[in-house]
Amino acid sequence: MADSVSNDAFVEFERVQKSYDGETLVVKDLNLTLPKGEFLTMLGPSGSGKTTCLMMLAGFETATHGEIRLDGRPINNIPPHKRGIGMVFQNYALFPHMTIGENLSFPLEVRKMGKSDREAKIKRALDMVEMEAFVNRRPAQLSGGQQQRVALARALVFEPELVLMDEPLGALDKQLREKMQFEITHLAHSLGITTVYVTHDQTEALTMSDRVAVFNDGVIQQLAPPDELYEAPQNSFVAQFIGENNTLEGTVKEIKDGIALVQLDDGELIDCKPINVSKPGERTRVSIRPERVEFNKERLQEGAHTLKAEVLEFIYMGDIFRTRLRVAGNDEFIVKTRNAPDQVRLEPGTQIEIGWLPEDCRALDA
Amino acid sequence: MTDTSGPLLAADGTPLKKRLAQAMFRSRARAFGLAFPLIAFIIVVFILPIIFLLWQGIYDARYSRLMPTSTAAMADWDAVSPPTEEMAAAMVADLVKARENKTIGQVATRVNRELSGTRSLFTKSARSAKKMEAPYMEALIKKDKDWADIEVWKAIKIASVKYNPGYVASALDLKYNADGSFERQDEDRRIHLMLFWRTIEISFLVTVFCLILGYPVAFLLSTLPTKTSNLLLILVLLPFWTSLLVRTTAWIAMLQAQGVMNDLFVVFGLATDEDRFSLIYNKTGTLIAMTHILLPFMILPLYSVMKTIPPSYTRAAKSMGATNWTAFWRVYFPQSVPGIGAGALLCFILAIGYYITPALVGGQDGQMISNIIDFHMRKSLNWNLAAALGLVLLVFVLFLFWIYDRVVGIDNMKLG
């Protein structure tokens, strides 16, 4: 999964920039390579440039600078209708004046496909999303989830090799969304299509993707498989944006044997893994996942630095316990523990000591 | 569901529907109270006058009210056999009374409308009616030999009919005869149907021109960023800030033989100085000026509908391989149809009753039905015919509405 141009690259962005007003860049120097069959998610807050990237790939926006290649062919000057890319839109964009069958027939008709071929393909596509019974209905007669399935079938019916999805599950309720997440990934993998998926929902990104590109401020902050993204964020934006995260601010004291000694602002010392700090004296933001914080002394490593903490709040959430602590002046320090039979329930007001493995505590940019 | 199951009951045993009606009554009453002044205003100043005026198109009791005896005497006359002595006696009696009441002028005018030249016959005869003695028919003919003409009596018979189809018939270029039959008007007097037809033709052309010119403008407005589109929308609405008369007279300055357009044509060699285009005081002038004036009424409903069509539809179509034209024609256009329907109906109905513009720039062949209605209201003072023409126009417009509802569906129309 090299970021450089490789031979198996199916979609490539090379030094792509985009500006709408000629003053600010919405996308700054984007380089991205997708192999065939990959499910890539572009994740980021609104205004981070992810949708713009998708629109440039689809052909609805033109890149101000740089080259976009599809299967080795530059597509900057190819109009959208000649790119052969399937697309699922945020509001589904099912044509309200056509039935489901006519909607699916549309991409085949513009390809001048014969009637019997069309019918066979429509049937197969609807079978795939289990919507064959609705072929004569109109989009307005379907529920959100059903419309979503039809939109998916319509994007796939002409058998594109690349499918783009622009927050396709945004309008669905939680349960349906989770079901569709599974179905979409399943379909994409079984059909072997390359998928670029845009979302601002990090859970969606983590559960569905082969790789996730985290966008912020027009730049890919990190491009990595979900587990790497969660466990090894490369900078404090990614650490903050993906999952829940505790941060403590401090200054690097020394870096030795791959371990950075950080002095927090209230004077306490902790051991961290240096990620993007390089020399003593640098300001740093230390990030620890709530589920990696340990307060059971027996489980702590010997000689590891510990911090004093005061329990502020205990929240019972069913499968987990969520405990809010005050640590080194931070009132929002969260610890998550599994609801196991032997699990301690911390009472508010108690003083405890917390610690963690140095590799779970990452010293990032300030 | 079985018939034995009674109506749903509320907790206290009363039928649920009744309870609901009681509960809703207060809020309904309040809503009605708030709307009442406006409803009353509309009924008093709008609906009632229209009904009264249109009523005159089919009801004319002037003769029968002022000349009751002769009306009764003529009721059974077949308009073929010679007028009877009884009719003449009734006529003389009524003439005497009409002269006393000073209503003879009105009677004369009414009959004169059916047969011109009878006005003086009535006023003259009325003056000496008091001295007339039986046999009255001879006395009348002695006064004026026109009384011997059966056509005069036919005209009186027509005038005496209270619920008179003659006006509507005349609005449709038909002649209502004294024996109750209809025939087509003489060729040289058939003008109304031609005018109706021309009104429809002009309205239709104006609507089509507005659609052709307005559709791209509305599309542009709906796709531009809000800031720009608001500015342009103000430009679309700008004409409403100037008087209709000013806008129409501006076209006179533009289009007349020595006007701006013709000067430009001469400069560019499209016309010679001696042979300039006649762009005004004819149908062309009416078409140009009305298209300009009605254009906002097409653009606004179109814009409001197009604004609601998400750009993702056309994008989706293109992503599926449709060319720009296919995406427009098969995806965008069908969704803009409600706007076209609303705009076209609005333009057409406004155009069909248009008056000032054709009056000012229409010349001879650019006149529309409203101009002849105006003529009868203000010049010939034949309000009944004016009302009948209006009635025909109204029925026609309602018929169009009905057709529209059948073809497009009235709820398929969006005015914004």
Query: For the segment B42-97, what is each residue's pLDDT rounded down to a tens digit?
Result: 999 999 999 999 999 999 998 999 999 999 988 888 888 888 888 999 999 999 99
Q: What share of chain B is helix, strand, coil (3-state, %, to 5)?
A: 70, 0, 25
| HSE-CB of A336 using CA atoms within 13 angstroms | 13
pLDDT in the model for residue B270: 86
Q: Report the percentage of chain B scoring pLDDT > 90.
A: 48
In angstroms, the CA A212 to CA A228 distance is: 10
CB contact burial B262-272 (16+ within 10 A = b; e otherwise)? beebbeeeebe
CB-CB under 8 Å, B312 with A80: no
CB-CB under 8 Å, A93 with B321: no
What distance in Å separates residue B314's CA from the closest CA in chain A? 9
Mean per-residue pLDDT, B209-231:
93
Q: CB–CB of B244/B238 below 8 Å?
A: no
| From B321, B326, B331, residue closest to A95, measured CB to CB | B331
CB-CB under 8 Å, A79 with B320: no
ipTM of the complex as predicted: 0.80
pLDDT in the model for residue B1: 44
CB-CB under 8 Å, B319 with A81: yes
pLDDT in the model for residue B272: 85
pLDDT in the model for residue A254: 87
Residues in chain A within 8 Å Cβ distance of B320? 81, 86-87, 106-107, 110, 154-155, 158
> Inter-axis angle of helices B104-114 and B118-129, to 10 degrees?
150
Q: Please give the structure tokens belonging to residue B57.
A: 């198109």
Tell me if chain A has a CB within 8 Å of the CB of B334: yes
CB-CB under 8 Å, A96 with B317: no
* Band of pLDDT at residue B338, cut at 50, 70 and 90: confident
CB-CB under 8 Å, B317 with A158: no
Q: Which of B320, B328, B337 to mutate to test the interface with A (most CBs of A within 10 A)?
A: B320
| From B313, B316, B321, residue closest to A158, measured CB to CB | B321
Residues in chain B within 8 Å Cβ distance of A79? 318
Q: Is the dihedral of CA B1, B4, B10, B16 positive or negative?
A: positive
Q: Which of residues 276-315 of B touch A (CB under 8 A)?
A: 310, 312-313, 315
Q: Report the percentage of chain B scoring pLDDT > 70.
A: 97
Closest CA to A136 of A126, A145, A124: A126
| From B319, B323, B327, residue closest to A87, measured CB to CB | B319
Beta strand pairing status for A269-274 and A259-264?
A: antiparallel
pLDDT in the model for residue A258: 83
Residues 6+ apart with CB under 8 A from A39: A185, A188, A189, A194, A195, A197, A208, A209, A210, A211
CB-CB under 8 Å, A107 with B323: no
Residues in chain A within 8 Å Cβ distance of B225? none
pLDDT tens digits, one per residue of B311-334: 899 999 999 999 999 999 999 999
| HSE-CB of A359 using CA atoms within 13 angstroms | 5
pLDDT in the model for residue A224: 94
| From B313, B318, B330, residue closest to A81, measured CB to CB | B318
pLDDT in the model for residue B334: 92
Mean per-residue pLDDT, B127-148:
88
Mean per-residue pLDDT, B267-289:
88
Chain centroid, CA A286 distance in Å: 22
pLDDT in the model for residue A126: 93
Stretches where chain A sits below pLDDT 50 are: 1-6
In angstroms, the CA B124 to CA B130 distance is: 12
* Band of pLDDT at residue B2, cut at 50, 70 and 90: very low
